[in-house]
Amino acid sequence: MITALFMYDSKGDVIVAKTYKEGVKRSISEVFRIQIITSSERHGPRSPVLTLGSTSFVYIRSGSVWICAVTRSNQDCGVILEFLYKFNSLVEEAVGTKGTGLEDEALVNNFVMIHEVLDEVIEFGFPTNLEPAYVSSHVQGYGHQSSTGLFRNKSLIAKAKPKLTSQKSSQSSSYPWRPEGIKYRRNEIYLDVSERINALLSEEGEVLQAFVDGKINMKTHLSGMPECQFGFNDDSILLENETVYGGGSGGVVLEDSKFHQCVQLTRFSTDRTIRFVPPDGEFTLMSYNCRSAIELPFSVTPVVRTLHNRLMYTIRIKAQFSKKLPAIDVVLRIPTPKGVIWNNASASGGRFKYHPEENVYLWRFPKFFGEDEHEFRAEVEVNDSEDDYTTSLSTWSRPPMSLEFKLEMYSSSGLSVRYLRVSEKASYRTVKWVKYETEGGKYQIRY
């Protein structure tokens, strides 16, 4: 609903800023300052909703403070205004000026508390619980400020910022990458297995070279000090160097494996379990290479024949994965010689276009479903003059074709995550996601 929220002082300077969706820059706050705050000094009050293009500014004024919600979709402005008035009431009570409006000084001196109130009452752009009793139970020091809104009582400072006990300090020192006291209303953990496949195929379709560069990226929003664990498939092997052993067993061999400092590998050798206390937010848990038993998602069979000053292409591409999966943004680059003076092409699927400035055909598929097979035929004529050897077919180097693609829920290395678990003494419910993504790197085909 709400894309961003800003709180301005009487001069139009942003004191509090919070963005909830991507694609919104901080500079958008300047639009509201110029269009509303500056112009209101000259022209008086205006409508509480300002719409510029696809962006709407819904705002109220409390004392000398402006509170503005930004939205980039067709939303109910009445609901947003109701939220702003309730939020203003909560902030007034937090700083001790309930019913009298907000002032610049109270906003500046209670900056941290206002951010904490925002974190509790709005989540991912949607208002949640705006009851004062709920906010006071989740925000320390809420409702105990003086009339000036300043933390002048030392006992209140101690209450708002409790000191760490020796036990907590020792626990925090055990996990220097994760601070104490993290709390989320919605606990989530995302695990992404991202692989980039590089391959070189012969004109007969034989794999001359193939390897995978992989990463396991994680995003965690978990409260407390949780211990996470996940297990690979039983036949996976991790190597610390490039000496491959066990390759004949048909298992997944991961070479050059590097782990984040949070990972404990003590039990991996026995049950293929990786345990860790994660950092908060996004991080790379592991990186690896794989050079054996790689499954190529596409096979490309090119036939290129030369007849005098003409080249005739017949290219077949087939998806070698499940028909339930669609690869997206599939592009096959088909080189041609320089000096092409005529061309003609056809394809059983996708779209193609000849780019003379690059001397290449681009054959594109927005979606390419598994087990599908398509054929491309083309004929080009070259100005094959003896005076210009640069356009001669006999001197053409035949650079390899290249394939680009993205494929989700597919792992070229065969690596799979059997389970993902989160253990924490609070025993809260956790939303868990595991995703696989493979994309083409240097995926080339000779002809």
Write the CATH number for 424. 2.60.40.1170
Report which of 207, 208, 209, 226 is spatially closest to residue 218, judged by C-alpha positions.
226
Q: How far is CA 31 from CA 34, 68, 84, in A?
A: 5, 11, 19
* Confidence tier at 401 by pLDDT (50, 70, 90): very high
pLDDT score for 22: 74
Residue 152, in any domain of the structure: no
Residue 97, in any domain of the structure: yes
pLDDT at 165 over 50: no
pLDDT at 156 over 50: no
Tokens matching residue 203: 């004109």
Asked whether residue 277 falls in the same domain as residue 385, the answer is no
Asked whether residue 302 falls in the same domain as residue 288, the answer is no
pLDDT at 433 over 90: yes
Beta partners for 422?
228
Q: Yes or no: say if 147 and 97 are a contact pair by the CB < 8 Å rule.
A: yes
Report which of 104, 36, 22 is spatially closest to residue 68, judged by C-alpha positions.
36
Asked whether residue 359 falls in the same domain as residue 432, the answer is no
What is the Cα–Cα distance from 93 to 90, expressed in whole angstroms?
Answer: 5
Degrees, nearest 5: CA angle 2-6-9:
155
pLDDT at 95 over 50: yes
Asked whether residue 245 falls in the same domain as residue 256, the answer is yes
Residue 280, in any domain of the structure: yes
Asked whether residue 365 falls in the same domain as residue 426, the answer is no
Q: What is the mean pLDDT of residues 138-143?
A: 71
Asked whether residue 374 falls in the same domain as residue 424, the answer is no
pLDDT score for 55: 87
Asked whether residue 123 falls in the same domain as residue 24, the answer is yes
Query: Concatenated DSSP letters for 68-136?
Result: EEEESS---HHHHHHHHHHHHHHHHHHHT-TTT---HHHHHHTHHHHHHHHHHHEETTEE----HHHHH
**3-state DSSP assignment of residue 168:** helix
Asked whether residue 257 falls in the same domain as residue 303, the answer is no
Asked whether residue 123 falls in the same domain as residue 193, the answer is no
Asked whether residue 361 falls in the same domain as residue 391, the answer is yes
What is the Cα–Cα distance from 267 to 136, expressed in whole angstroms?
Answer: 44
What is the Cα–Cα distance from 231 to 216, expressed in whole angstroms?
Answer: 13
Residue 171, in any domain of the structure: no
Long-range pairs of 20-25 with CB within 8 A, sequence gap ≥ 24 = 20/122, 20/124, 20/125, 21/72, 21/125, 23/72, 24/70, 24/72
Asked whether residue 107 falls in the same domain as residue 40, the answer is yes
Residue 144, in any domain of the structure: no
76: domain CATH number is: 3.30.450.60
Cα 445 to chain centroid, rounded: 31
Provide the residue range defining the domain that includes 201: 188-295+410-445
- Identify which has the larger pLDDT, 302 or 101: 302
Residue 67, in any domain of the structure: yes
Asked whether residue 286 falls in the same domain as residue 417, the answer is yes
Crossing angle for the helix pair 77-95 and 111-121, nearest 10 degrees?
Answer: 140
Reported pTM: 0.59
Residue 24, in any domain of the structure: yes
Counted domains in the chain: 3
pLDDT at 390 over 70: no
Residue 155, in any domain of the structure: no
Domain final position from 116, 138, 160: 138
Handedness of CA 89, 92, 93, 99 (dihedral sign): negative
* Confidence tier at 385 by pLDDT (50, 70, 90): low
What is the Cα–Cα distance from 110 to 121, expressed in whole angstroms?
Answer: 17
pLDDT at 303 over 90: yes
